[in-house]
Amino acid sequence: MPYTADTRRQPPSRDELRNRIPGWGADLDPADRPSVPREKHEPTGAHWDFPERQPENTPRERSLEHKFLTPVFGTTAPLHGFSGAIRRFAYRRYSEGQTPHWLLLLAGDRVDAWESHLRSLATGRPDNPVTQTGILAEPGHRPLSSRFGRNRADLKHAWMDPVMVGGPWAAAAVLAWVGARKLLTSPSRR
């Protein structure tokens, strides 16, 4: 446990680390540190062995590896909806070292984006993928010369960006068109 003194597994000794990792602990001896004359060990003012914990008013997700939440945690973006259920499942079921944990978090992120799109439809001011993606600003900001010949790392996935951003919107439009057409041509309406 990183937050308490009673750890079950003891860390390896300094000698063991020094033998295993070349160069490990090169600055352990204060005589070898160039900044030692400036290092001052002044009192920190800490009056606790374990910091006071922030109250957990609503359940927060935490890693399986941790016994409890960190003493301080964020509360500005609580989990909600189906995306929150996916994320809670990822934290409750899988370790951070497992691939399904991160894949579920990615899926939760995508579901959260669509939940936000649907909420924006309900507000009467739906998202506008054309203006919000910045595609209209591209022609005025050197779209080709800013990308090619500059060794940009994002060029590797640039070809699929329009598909990833515009694809779901196009699929939703097609589904809406097919659904509306079926409704209008259903036998009960004839």
**pLDDT tens per residue, range 96-124:** 999 999 999 999 999 998 899 888 888 88
Q: How many whole angstroms separate alpha carbon 136 and alpha carbon 124?
A: 23
- End-to-end Cα spacing for the chain: 69
The yes-or-no verdict on residue 126 having pLDDT over 80 is yes
Give the pLDDT mean for 118-137: 84
Number of domains in the chain: 1
- Which pLDDT value is given to residue 40? 72
* CB distance 105 to 90 below 8 Å: yes
- Residue 110 falls within a domain, yes or no? yes
User: Would you say 86 and 107 are in contact if contact means Cβ atoms under 8 Å apart?
Assistant: yes
Averaged over 164-181, what is the pLDDT? 88
**Amino acid 42: pLDDT:** 75
In the predicted model, what is the mean pLDDT of the chain? Answer: 85
Q: Looking at residue 106, what is its pLDDT? A: 96
- The answer to whether 115 touches 83, Cβ cutoff 8 Å, is yes
In a domain, 146, yes or no: no
DSSP 55: P
Note whether residue 177 is domain-resident: no
In a domain, 91, yes or no: yes
pLDDT digits (tens, 9 = 90+) for 37-51: 677 777 778 777 788
Record the pTM. 0.59
**Residue 119 belongs to some domain of the structure:** yes
The whole domain housing 101 covers 82-123
The answer to the question of residue 94 being in a domain is yes
Look at residue 70 and tell me if it is in a domain: no
Dihedral in degrees, nearest 10, Cα atoms 53, 79, 67, 71: -20
DSSP string, the chain: -TTSS--SSPPPPHHHHHHHSTTTTTT-SGGG-TTGGG----------SSPPPPP-SS-----TTSSS--SS---SS---HHHHHHHHHHHHHS-TTSHHHHHHHHHHHHHHHHHHHHHHHHHTS---HHHHTTGGGGGGS-TTTTTTTTT-TTHHHHTTHHHHHHHHHHHHHHHHHHHHHHHHT-GGG-
150, part of any domain: no
* 53 or 188, which is more confident: 53
Per-residue DSSP letter, 13 = P
* Sequence-ordered list of residues with C-beta below 8 angstroms from that of 64, at least 6 positions apart, any chain: 91, 92, 94, 95, 96
How many CB atoms sit inside 10 A of residue 84's CB? 16
